[in-house]
């Protein structure tokens, strides 16, 4: 058994596929964890029209903001659990000692989190769009902006979750860390939908969302890995 | 020219946990074919020593080297050669025993289901392979965690209290596994209060 130059035998891509598979399987074994933020999103957006007056025009004016605030809050609901379970049962140590880069592990975990939270939210958003009276023509902009925005949110949330995973009650802190950073997403996301509804081109706001998305997707994995390393050493 | 140094070298590490000076200048050398048992009263830093040795915790002073090189520089190689079993079994309750093994062992090396089943068979939990881990007893979980260490086929084992929750047959099994491992030129750093019935090759490090 030669020990000096034992190279990792599993490629990063193969490792990431394994982790995505594991995360998805875990999510489907506990469907209530996936459904809870979605149900929250649907309930909040359905309660708004009931609480407001019956004017469709007023509802239409407010719809993008309502949609985005609800999406933001429901994304936050599931985020603090991103690394918590693994940290509590010791799996995070095993992942950190797997010989794979922590950045690749974080990338796979956050991507699978987005698949079951953000992407699922994008899929149910047309229902909400119909309920809030958003015109059909605005749907592509709404879906696109939500897809970009929730992906950014998953990454921002992962940074918060990584920093607070060692704390007993980290979830409030995650919201405090993430919400200020999420403001540009809310402004440009709701702005894009608003502009499309007003018949103006939403391209500018969407481009800005896209660039924020590229920024977080490329740099956040390193930040999250660093945050987790601090937690593990603490 | 000398051949590259083998094994794990820990030199004069100091670790503070808050105000407590837990490890005060601990050194050890672990060579292929050796087992080092770490003993000592509760709270003397046995688990901390293990976490420093595997690179999860950075010591304030001193160094940990793998094959003569500081572990910070050879992290992927070092961790590929390491199977670590902490005090908690690190298993997901919602996954079956087999799935738990497949995902964590699969990150270390490409592994076939038959090999994982063989490891579970060896540790005596083959009938639980398809059961979700949450229905297993503490002893069975410990055995599944041992099967994971076995299936990783790593030259260096670090086990934290591997005898916990095991019946006498289980304890004998751990001793057998350790004996086979060091006979095959493996290395093991084990935290245990339990006496390990291994005559040669066993060294003890007592923490005060």
Domains of chain B as residue ranges with CATH: 1-74+185-208 (3.40.50.300)
On whether residue A3 sits in a domain, the answer given is: no
In this predicted model, what pLDDT tens digit does every residue of B28-51 receive, in sequence order? 999 998 999 998 888 888 999 999
Count A/B contacts: CB-CB distance under 8 Å.
Answer: 109
Minimum Cα–Cα distance from B54: chain A residue:
A97
pLDDT at B167 > cutoff 70: yes
Which stretches within chain B are classed as H helix?
Answer: 46-53, 75-80, 97-106, 113-122, 138-152, 168-183
- Residue A79 has a pLDDT of 83
Put simply, the answer to whether A99 touches B104 (Cβ < 8 Å) is no
Nearest to B109 among A10, A25, A26 (CB): A10
Q: Does B59 touch chain A (CB under 8 A)?
A: no
Read off the pLDDT of each residue in A14-24 and give the average, rounded to a whole number.
94
Put simply, the answer to whether B54 touches A25 (Cβ < 8 Å) is no
Helical packing angle, B113-122 and B138-152, nearest 10°: 130
d(CA B98, CA A159): 31
> Chain-wide mean pLDDT for chain B?
90
User: Left (φ > 0), alpha (ψ -120 to 50) or beta: where does A133 sit?
Assistant: left
Spell out which residues of chain B touch residue A22, defining contact as CB-CB under 8 Å.
95, 99, 103
**Are the beta carbons of A154 and A29 closer than 8 angstroms?**
no
On whether residue A53 sits in a domain, the answer given is: yes
- Residue B66 has a pLDDT of 93
Q: Which of A89, A94, A96 to mutate to test the interface with B (most CBs of B within 10 A)?
A: A94
Confidence of residue A5 (pLDDT cuts 50, 70, 90): low
Q: Does A13 touch chain B (CB under 8 A)?
A: no
Spell out which residues of chain A touch residue B132, defining contact as CB-CB under 8 Å.
29
Minimum Cα–Cα distance from A9: chain B residue:
B109
| Range(s) of the domain holding residue A39 | 12-233
Put simply, the answer to whether A89 touches B7 (Cβ < 8 Å) is no
In this predicted model, what pLDDT tens digit does every residue of A69-95 receive, in sequence order? 999 999 888 887 889 889 888 999 999
Give this prediction's pTM: 0.90
Q: Which of B92, B106, B107 to mutate to test the interface with A (most CBs of A within 10 A)?
A: B107
Read off the pLDDT of each residue in A87-116 and give the average, rounded to a whole number.
93
Closest CA to A16 of A83, A112, A89: A112
pLDDT at B152 > cutoff 90: yes
On whether residue A127 sits in a domain, the answer given is: yes
**Are the beta carbons of A22 and B171 closer than 8 angstroms?**
no
Q: How far is B41 from chain A (nearest CA, A)?
A: 23
Four-CA torsion B90, B94, B99, B102, nearest 10 degrees: -30
Spell out which residues of chain A touch residue B90, defining contact as CB-CB under 8 Å.
89-91, 93-94
Q: Does A124 touch chain B (CB under 8 A)?
A: no
Q: How far is A233 from chain B (nearest CA, A)?
A: 5
Read off the pLDDT of each residue in A132-137 and give the average, rounded to a whole number.
89
Q: Is residue B25 helix, strand or coil?
A: strand
On whether residue A5 sits in a domain, the answer given is: no
In this predicted model, what pLDDT tens digit does every residue of A149-172 receive, in sequence order? 999 999 999 999 998 888 877 778
Nearest to B186 among A1, A9, A10 (CB): A1
Q: Does B72 touch chain A (CB under 8 A)?
A: no
- Residue A76 has a pLDDT of 85
Put simply, the answer to whether B80 touches A6 (Cβ < 8 Å) is yes
- Residue A55 has a pLDDT of 77
* Phi/psi at B157 (5° precision): -105, 140
Confidence of residue B63 (pLDDT cuts 50, 70, 90): very high
User: What total of structural domains would you count in chain A?
Assistant: 1
Helical packing angle, B97-106 and A12-29, nearest 10°: 160
* Phi/psi at A77 (5° precision): -55, -40
- Residue A121 has a pLDDT of 93
Helical packing angle, A139-164 and A203-233, nearest 10°: 20
């Amino acid at each position: 058994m030669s020990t000096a130059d034992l190279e990792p035998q599993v490629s990063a891509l193969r490792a990431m596929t394994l982790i995505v598979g594991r995360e998805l399987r875990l999510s489907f074994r506990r469907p209530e964890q996936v459904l809870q933020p979605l149900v929250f999103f649907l309930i909040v957006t359905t309660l708004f029209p009931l609480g407001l007056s019956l004017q469709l025009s007023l509802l239409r004016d407010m719809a993008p903001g309502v949609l985005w605030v609800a999406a933001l809050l429901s994304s936050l609901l599931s985020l603090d659990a991103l690394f918590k379970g693994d940290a509590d049962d010791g799996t995070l140590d095993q992942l950190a000692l797997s010989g794979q880069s922590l950045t690749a592990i974080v990338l796979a975990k956050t991507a699978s989190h987005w698949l079951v939270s953000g992407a699922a939210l994008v899929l149910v958003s047309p229902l909400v769009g119909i309920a809030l009276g958003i015109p059909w023509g605005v749907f592509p902009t709404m879906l696109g902006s939500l897809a970009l925005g929730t992906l950014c949110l998953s990454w921002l949330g992962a940074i918060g979750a990584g920093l607070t995973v060692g704390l007993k009650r980290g979830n409030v802190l995650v919201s405090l860390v993430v919400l200020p950073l999420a403001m540009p997403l809310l402004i440009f996301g709701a702005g894009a939908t608003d502009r499309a509804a007003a018949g103006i081109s939403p391209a500018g706001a969407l481009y800005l969302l896209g660039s924020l998305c590229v920024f977080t997707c490329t740099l956040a994995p390193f930040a999250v890995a660093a945050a987790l390393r601090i937690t593990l050493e603490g | 020219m000398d051949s590259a140094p083998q094994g794990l070298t820990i030199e004069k590490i100091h670790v503070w946990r808050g105000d407590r000076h837990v490890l005060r200048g601990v050194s050890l050398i672990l060579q292929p074919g050796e087992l080092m048992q770490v003993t000592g009263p509760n709270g003397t830093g046995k688990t901390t020593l293990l976490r420093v040795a595997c690179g999860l915790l950075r010591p304030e002073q001193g160094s940990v080297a793998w094959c003569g090189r500081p572990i910070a520089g050879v992290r992927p190689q070092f961790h590929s050669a390491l199977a670590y079993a902490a005090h908690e079994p690190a298993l997901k309750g919602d996954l079956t025993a087999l799935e738990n093994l497949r995902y964590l062992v699969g990150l270390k090396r490409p592994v076939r289901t038959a090999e994982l089943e063989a490891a579970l068979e060896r540790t005596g939990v083959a009938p639980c392979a398809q059961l979700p881990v949450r229905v297993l007893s503490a002893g069975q979980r410990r055995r599944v965690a041992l099967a994971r260490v076995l299936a990783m086929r790593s030259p260096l084992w670090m086990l934290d209290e591997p005898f916990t929750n095991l019946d006498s047959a289980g304890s004998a099994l751990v001793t057998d596994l350790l004996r086979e491992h060091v006979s095959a030129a493996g290395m093991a750093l084990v935290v245990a209060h339990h006496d390990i019935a291994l005559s040669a090759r066993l060294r003890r490090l007592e923490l005060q």
